Amino acid sequence: MSVEIGLKGRAEETVTDANTAQAACSGALPVYGTPFMTALMEKAAWTSIAPRLAPGESTVGTAMNITHISASPVGIRVWAESEVTLVDGKRIELKVAAYDQTGKIGEGTHQRFIVTDDRFLAKAARKLEG
């Protein structure tokens, strides 16, 4: 299988005290935290791509350009959607958006690269050797 333009993904969760701006230390208010919205967007992206990869391959996020445009309170359901917009060799670009039941709460673009798991982890582990 291969990754193709138009491939879509989705991930969802409920806003709890554990994923607020307060919990992430990214703000003082008990609303859905931007770091958690970002992670949900990434989850929608990587989980849609993963089944299309060869065994021993994964993707890693390398860029995220988003806006968080609306607050979501504790207790509300939120979800993120992704769509592949470009495949250039190992580089994949996606548009991402997040929503709660009242509408869009964030949007932007995301870039991922296909990596070989063993080689990627070995390179990261070499940082401990010095």
Catalytic positions, written as ranges:
34, 42, 68
Rounded to an integer, what distance in angstroms lies between the CA atom of residue 3 and that of residue 48?
9
Cβ atoms 110, 41 nearer than 8 A: yes
- What single-letter amino acid sits at 109? T
